[in-house]
Amino acid sequence: MTGPRITDPNDPFTERMNSLPKYVVTNTLTAGPWHPTTVLRGDAIRTVGELKARPGRELQIHGSARLGRALLSAGLVDTLRLVVAPTVTGSGRRLLDHPAPPVGLRLVQHEVTANGLLLLEYECVGAAPVAEYEGVTAFVQ
């Protein structure tokens, strides 16, 4: 195993990120390069579900939209934290595209940074209620 991957002494997350346990869901790697890392092999839903069932602190996903979608579809996501940048790209992958029924989200925290980033935290609350949009006139008295 190699050592820390964040080396900037001025970054407030350097020590924390380098010391926290990391889990890599993969069927191709046998070891993770960033200590301390545990490789989770096999079915991602099963292995992450087993890890989530253990007592301990929260699990986070960084950098894997595909894993995030799979865990969201399987009902293994409790909280969804999004950073929305004021940019329209016009193309790319859908972040929350998944084959399961719609997931209900309840906004629990929000913040706008000085640069206009939206920091949004949602709680997953089960199946999403769905309805037809009746337009603005339905709300005008």
Residue 45's pLDDT is 94
Q: In this structure, is residue 29 part of a structural domain?
A: no
Q: In this structure, is residue 34 part of a structural domain?
A: no
> Average pLDDT of 86-103?
80
Amino acid at 85: A
Residue 1 pLDDT > 50:
no
Q: In this structure, is residue 15 part of a structural domain?
A: no
Amino acid at 136: V
Residue 123 pLDDT > 90:
yes
Print the domain residue range for 99: 43-139
Residue 48 pLDDT > 90:
yes
The CATH number of whichever domain residue 92 belongs to comes to 3.40.430.10
Q: In this structure, is residue 27 part of a structural domain?
A: no
**Maximum C-alpha span of the chain:** 66
Q: In this structure, is residue 13 part of a structural domain?
A: no
Q: In this structure, is residue 6 part of a structural domain?
A: no
Report the number of distinct structural domains present in the chain.
1
Q: In this structure, is residue 98 part of a structural domain?
A: yes
Q: In this structure, is residue 2 part of a structural domain?
A: no
Q: Give pLDDT tens digits for 54-80.
A: 998 888 888 788 888 889 888 899 999
Residue 9 pLDDT > 90:
no
> What is the C-alpha separation between 41 and 59, in angstroms, rounded?
17
> What is the C-alpha separation between 15 and 7, in angstroms, rounded?
9
Higher-scoring residue by pLDDT: 99, 17: 17
Residue 53's pLDDT is 93
